[in-house]
Amino acid sequence: MNMTAKTLTAAAVIIISVATASLSAADILRGFHSGDTMPEFTLPILGTGQKFNFKPETTNRPTAIFFFSINPRFRRSRALALLSELAAMSARYRGRADILAIYEDNRDTATVRRFMESLPEKPQVLTDSRNEVYDRYGVFMMPIVVLLAPGGKLHEVVPYTYGIKRIIEANLQFLVGDISRDELKKRLEPRKNRKLSAKEREFVRRLNYARVLENKKLYEQALREYQKAARLAPNRPEGFVGMGFMNMELKRYQAAAGNFGKARNLDPESDDAVAGQGLLLYRTGDHEKALPLLENAFITPEPRLEVMLALAAIYEEKKEMDKAVRMNKLVVQKLLTMLNQRWR
C-alpha cells in the first residue's frame, strides 16, 4: 500500500522513558531493537584527526553516544547545552561509564571546538562529516542520545525533550548499578506541580476550555478563551500560542504570525510556538523556511500531527523518501496506539 503524508490522519508521539505509551528504541533507530548489539565504528577525533575505534561488544561499561549538529541554527543552543551537561557527566562517571559525542556535520567545527575549550571538562567529540555512523545506527533526528548497556547492547534512546538531563542521568545510574529498575521508573515519573494560586487555576481553566472548543472546531470561541488566558498570564506563551493556532485556522495569517512571535519572545524555546511558525510558513507556501522549524518542532515529547504530516510532505517534495517513509510509519504507529487506548 502506498501511503503518503496526505493520506494519514494520526500523529506519533515520541516520548522515551517518561511516557506510559512510549515508542521503543526500535521506533527511533531504524533496524534496531532494545537489547541488540550496536555496530562498531571508527571516526576521527575533532581537533586532532586521530582515529577512534569503538567496539561495542567488547565494552564492559555503559556508553552514552550523543549525536548532534549545530546546523540549522535552531539546534545550536540545545545541542551545545547538552554537550556541556554530558561533559560534566563524563567526569562524574569516569571509569564507570563512557560518554561519546558525534558531530554530524562538516561545517562550523571551529565553533564546536571553541565551545569545547570553554568547558571545564573536555568531552570526547568525534566527527562524522559524511553521516556514516548516523546512517549505520539508523538515527532519524537530532539531537539524540543513544544509551548502551555493557557489551554494547541497546538500552534506551532519548531524543531531545524536557528534562533530558534527568532522564540520561537516571538511566546511567541504573546502568552502572547505583539504582534499581524500580528506582529508575520512580525517578522518571513526572514531577508533581506545586499548588496553584486562584489566578493560575483560572488561567489553566481557560486554557483547558479553549482546547475543548478547539477540538470541537469552534475556533472563534476558542480564540476568545485563549485571549482571556493570555490576559490572565501575559508573561506565559501558552495563551498566545493558542491564539496563533486559532487565527491560523481562521486564515488570519498576519495575526497568527504576531501571536507566535509574541510567544517566542516570551519563550524562545517554546516547542508549540516553533511548531506554529513552521506550520504557518508551510500553509502559506514557504516550505524551505518551514522545514528547519518543523524539524525542530518534531524533536519534542509530543510532536503535533500537523507537524509530522507537513514534514512527510516536504520530504516527499524533496525526494528524501527514506525520511518521508519513516515519518509516515511513525504516524501510523501512533494511530494504532491511540486506537488501542481508546478501546481499552
What is the model's pLDDT at position 188? 86
- What is the predicted pLDDT for the residue at 195? 82
**Residue-level pLDDT at 344:** 53
Q: What pLDDT is attached to residue 205?
A: 94
Which residues neighbour 69 within 8 Å (Cβ) at sequence distance 6 or greater?
75, 79, 103, 104, 105, 142, 143
Contact 167, 190 (CB under 8 A): no
Residue 7: closest CA among 328, 297, 330:
328
Domain ranges of the chain: 19-187, 198-342
What pTM value is reported for the model? 0.65
C-alpha cell at 46: 575533532
CATH topology of domain 198-342: 1.25.40
Closest CA to 99 of 118, 114, 119: 119
> Which residues of the chain, if any, have pLDDT below 70?
1-30, 191-193, 301, 334, 337-338, 340-344
Give CA–CA dist 217/219, Å, rounded.
Answer: 5
Dihedral, CA of residue 227, residue 11, residue 75 and residue 273, to nearest 10: -10
Backbone angles phi, psi at 149, to 5 degrees: -80, 165
| Identical fold between 19-187 and 198-342 | no
May I ask the CATH architecture of the domain 19-187? 3-Layer(aba) Sandwich (3.40)
The pLDDT tens digits for 187-198 are 888 766 678 889
> Closest Cα to residue 336, out of 4, 34, 1, 23?
23
| pLDDT of amino acid 341 | 62
Cross-strand pairs, 243: none
pLDDT recorded at residue 16: 29
Residue 28 grid cell: 527511533
Q: Are 73 and 39 in contact (CB under 8 A)?
A: no
**Residues 6 or more apart from 207 whose CB is under 8 A from it?**
225, 226, 229, 238, 239, 242
Q: Distance (Å, rounded) from C-alpha 125 to C-alpha 46? A: 6
